[in-house]
């Protein structure tokens, strides 16, 4: 009985090893290539498939430890040069993209900014030419927000989550045309 069980186990292992080796040949990986420069501090990346065919990387960039951060993007599919999305006298951090699946505009760029003192959550319309349109402030309460996340579970009601004063919060936003609230 033990020899039959051992034989079955050995045959199963041989089959799994061979199947695993064949499966590894299916995927061919290209050589690694950097998608951002190495002269600045690039952090908090998030990538989003836009219009089902273009993969974009959004990230925050600062040029020195004391410099303000800005939000940049790059099309990973075509490897076009990186482009500045949002910058200014404030910090712009934790970029997330919400695809609107609309012909009028691409979607919303959600981010944290300390432009009014406290760190609040904002959403900017990303136009079809990938420029920033109108910006909406989504939160307005005392206490700094951090760790911005979003869910794409419901197409027109994104769930946005954040941490404020060591408490996790969430809210459902509503998309009306090209505005979000």
Residue-level pLDDT at 70: 92
Phi, psi of 52 (to 5 degrees): 65, 5
Please enumerate, as own/partner, the contacts of 39-45 that have beta carbons within 8 Å and a separation of 24 or more.
39/63, 41/65, 42/72, 44/93, 44/94, 44/95
Q: Is residue 26 part of a domain?
A: no
CATH number of the CATH domain containing 99: 2.120.10.10
> Domain tally for the chain?
1
> 52 to each of 4, 73, 113, 158, how far by Cα in Å?
51, 17, 29, 18
Q: Is residue 29 part of a domain?
A: no
Task: Count CB neighbours of 68 within 10 A.
Answer: 15
Model confidence pLDDT, tens digit, residues 98-128: 877 777 777 888 888 888 777 788 888 888 8
Q: Where in the sequence is the domain holding 175, given as residue range(s)?
A: 41-180
Q: Is residue 11 part of a domain?
A: no
Decide if pLDDT at 71 tops 90. Answer: yes
Q: Is residue 8 part of a domain?
A: no
Model confidence pLDDT, tens digit, residues 125-146: 888 888 888 888 877 777 666 6
Q: Is residue 4 part of a domain?
A: no
> 63 to each of 42, 43, 86, 114, 129, how far by Cα in Å?
9, 11, 15, 18, 26
Residue-level pLDDT at 53: 83
Q: Is residue 159 part of a domain?
A: yes
Give me the sheet containing 159-164, strands edge to edge.
145-151, 159-164, 167-172
Residue-level pLDDT at 136: 84
Query: What percentage of the chain reaches a pLDDT higher than 90?
Result: 7
Q: Which residues contact 179 (CB under 8 A, 6 or more apart)?
A: 125, 134, 136
């Amino acid at each position: 009985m033990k020899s039959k069980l051992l034989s079955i186990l050995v045959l199963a292992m041989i089959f799994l090893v061979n199947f695993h080796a064949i499966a590894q040949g299916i995927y061919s990986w290209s050589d690694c290539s950097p998608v951002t420069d190495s002269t600045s501090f690039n952090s908090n990346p998030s990538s989003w498939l836009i219009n089902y065919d273009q993969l974009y990387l959004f990230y925050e960039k600062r040029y020195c430890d004391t410099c303000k951060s800005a939000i940049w993007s790059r099309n990973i599919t075509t490897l076009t040069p990186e482009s500045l999305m949002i910058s200014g006298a404030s910090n712009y951090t934790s970029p997330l993209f919400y695809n609107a699946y609309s012909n009028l505009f691409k979607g919303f760029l959600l981010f944290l900014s300390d432009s009014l003192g406290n760190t609040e959550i904002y959403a900017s319309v990303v136009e079809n030419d990938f420029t920033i349109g109108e910006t909406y402030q989504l939160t307005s309460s005392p206490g700094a927000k951090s760790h911005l996340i979003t869910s794409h579970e419901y197409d027109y009601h994104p769930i946005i989550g954040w941490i404020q004063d060591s408490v996790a919060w969430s809210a459902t936003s509503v998309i009306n045309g090209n505005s979000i609230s």
